[in-house]
Amino acid sequence: MLPTPNSALVLRSSRKAVKFLLDATSKTALTACAERTAIFKAISEGHKHFKAIAVSSDDSGFTPPCGACRQVLIDLAGNIDFIMVNAKQQVKIIPLKVLVPFAFTNKNLQRSKKKK
């Protein structure tokens, strides 16, 4: 199942999906991207374990997640696959750790708490 254009689809460990439709924009920081909204929705519904998130765009190129989405996804979902689908229905799959090298995660916070 591929997401529809301008949407995100979160694949849970149970292989069921949570989908959210949203037109995202890079013009303002006050919007909520589809991938962040989809992961928040999945978590608010009680889901905790994820395999992948797929984002579809009506652009002919691939649309990677913004910096805020990268941080939220690595924090809440870990090193899941980030799947990009373009308007030509071409697919590119990249592990989140590749998109967020040297990520600041909960492990960093735990280490700093141990030092106190």
Please state, in angstroms and rounded to a whole number, the distance separating the CA atoms of residues 3 and 21.
9
Indicate if 35 belongs to the active site: yes
Q: Which of 10, 35, 84, 85 is catalytic?
A: 35
CA distance 25 to 11: 23
Question: Which of 71, 80, 65 has its CA nearest to residue 106?
Answer: 71
Give me the active site residues, please: 35
